[in-house]
Amino acid sequence: MANPKSVIVLIVKWLLLCIAIGFATGCASAFFLTTLNWVTNWREAHNWIIALLPIGGLIIGLTYHYWGNSIVKGNNLLLEELHTPKQIIPFKMAPLVLFGTLVTHLFGGSAGREGTAVQMGGAIADQFTHWFKLDNLDRQIIIIMGISAGFASVFGTPIAGAIFALEVMVIGKLKYNGLLPAFITAYIANYSCTIWKVSHTRYSIPNVPAITPINVAYTIGVAVLFGLAALLFSRLVHFFSDFFKKIAYPPLRPFTGGLCLAIAIYFMGTTKYIGLGVPTIVESFTVAQPPYAFLLKILLTTFTLGAGFKGGEVTPLFFVGATLGSALFMVVPLPIALLAGMGFVAVFSGATNTPIACTLMGIELFGLNCGLYIAIACIVAYFVSGNKGIYSSQVIGGAKGYVYGRFARK
């Protein structure tokens, strides 16, 4: 029988860890979102800076080559440490990824923000491993808490943030021993971010039709397309990453990529498809987007990240899904906001292999009344997108791998 005093000490210890990690990560995300908003507005008011995108890439490349070589894997490093713990994640991951992401967005790269928040959360959380002398099992939970805190605070979705941290580790399995601390830390991080008066983008799906066989069939049909878009995104991320590795000197990779991107953006004549693209995402819920919009975002984002720029994939995945769903409104008789909302989370689900977290995120963002449509879209996209997502260090450990394995053997 456990000693009551020991149990109380253990509970207090983990509660203090949840508070410390959640508060620190939430404040870091608030600073990040505020500065990211500033550099985005400055770039949009001074578009000439996009011509200097190669210089921005060179700055990022040199920074990581000389000071960040041990943490250049980013999110994949967090996943590797979760599966096979080796050494505490260096704290420098947090300021370096923050700096790299701000430079990427300032000069006009197409990237997201969740990768930055997740890496900051993971790096902050793992420092407590040393201070509290935690073993590998406790350290695994600590990193999960950091991931959940970063995700929850940057998007304002604490439930999805907690489940994402648990679900992203192994395809098809959840680490339930980290469930409670992940939830507590996610909520504290989200609250800590909001006390700095940082607001998150809100979306609305005002019209949700009744669940009928024909509407379910349409949902499955569009979800297949969302899954294929996620598959294309994932494959291109890995393709461009491998392609740029052919350049022997790492700092020249984002420099070369930045040069190509600057030329492409100049000839496109618009900044609609660079940066986060949040205004276009919001617009997709009310205005049908051109059918090529999602393809342009896929190409620009995968090229940007593959070249070595920093940020994340999730907000661009929201853009891809929302614009694709919005474009499908021209041929699919479902409300445009519902199509955009389903695409918003379904492409994310397929690319990250996290259908439960994405379903919960859709419910947190859009409301419970569209939950069944969201769930169908996320699950179908998850199965259609294949085993290999955007995170190369993700482990296949459940039903999805089994299904594809059976097909592969036939």
* Interval 160-178: pLDDT, tens: 999 999 998 877 677 778 8
Regarding whether 160 and 309 lie in a shared domain, the answer is no
In 3D space, the residue among 56, 71, 72 whose CA is nearest the CA of residue 250 turns out to be: 72
pLDDT at 386: 86
Q: Are residues 221 and 275 in the same domain?
A: yes
The residue out of 164, 194, 224 marking a domain boundary is: 194
Q: Is the domain of 178 the same as that of 302?
A: no
Q: Give domain status of residue 53, yes or no.
A: yes
- Share above pLDDT 90 across residues of the chain, in percent, rounded to a whole number: 79
Has residue 200 been placed in a domain? Answer: no
| Same domain, yes or no: 259 and 140 | no
Task: Please give the residue range of the domain that contains residue 21.
Answer: 4-194
The CA distance from 362 to 160, in Å, is 9
Does the pLDDT of residue 410 top 50, yes or no? no
Domain annotation covers residue 207: no
Mean predicted lDDT score pLDDT of the chain: 92
Residues 220 and 362 in one domain: yes
3-class secondary-structure state, position 174: coil
Residue that terminates a domain, selected from 194, 228, 260: 194
Confidence bin at 397 (pLDDT 50/70/90): low
343-371 average pLDDT score = 96
How many domains, in total, are found in the chain?
2
**Above 70 in pLDDT, residue 41?**
yes
Are 181 and 271 found together in one domain? no
In a domain, 178, yes or no: yes
104-108, 174-178, 403-407, range with the lowest pLDDT: 403-407
171 in the same domain as 34: yes
CATH of the domain at 329: 1.10.3080.10
Spatial CB neighbours of 133, under 8 Å, sequence gap ≥ 6: none
- pTM here is 0.94
**Average pLDDT rounded to a whole number, residues 100-116:** 96
> Which of 194, 228, 252 is where one domain is finished?
194
3-class DSSP state for residue 396? Answer: strand
Give 110-141 pLDDT, tens digit per residue: 999 989 999 999 999 999 988 888 888 899 99
Q: Do residues 190 and 70 both lie within one domain?
A: yes
Residues 9 and 80 in one domain: yes
**DSSP at 69:** G
Least confident among 8-12, 146-150, 228-232: 8-12
Interacting residues of 398 by C-beta distance below 8 A, sequence separation 6+: 170, 171, 172, 173
Q: Which residue has the higher pLDDT, 391 or 377?
A: 377
**Residues 96/62, Cβ–Cβ less than 8 Å:** no
Per-residue pLDDT at 2? 59
217 and 185 together in one domain: no
Q: CA–CA separation, 351 vs 231, rounded Å?
A: 6
| 101 and 233 in a common domain | no
Dist CA 369 CA 236 (whole Å): 35
If you average pLDDT over residues 18-29, what whole number do you get? Answer: 97
Q: Residue 86 — very low, low, confident or very high, per pLDDT cuts 50/70/90?
A: confident
Query: Is the pLDDT assigned to residue 409 strictly greater than 50?
Result: no
In a domain, 352, yes or no: yes
Contacts of residue 98, Cβ cutoff 8 Å, sequence gap at least 6: 28, 32, 116, 120
Q: Classify strands 170-171 and 395-396 as parallel, antiparallel or unpaired.
A: parallel
Torsion of CA 43, 44, 46, 47, to 10 degrees: 90
The answer to whether residue 208 sits within a structural domain is no
Handedness of CA 234, 237, 240, 243 (dihedral sign): negative
Determine, yes or no, domain membership for 283: yes
- Domain for residue 201, yes or no? no
Q: Which of 116, 167, 160 lies closest to 144, judged by CA?
A: 167
The pLDDT, as a whole number, for residue 374 is 98
Confidence of residue 375 (pLDDT cuts 50, 70, 90): very high
Same domain as 386, residue 289: yes
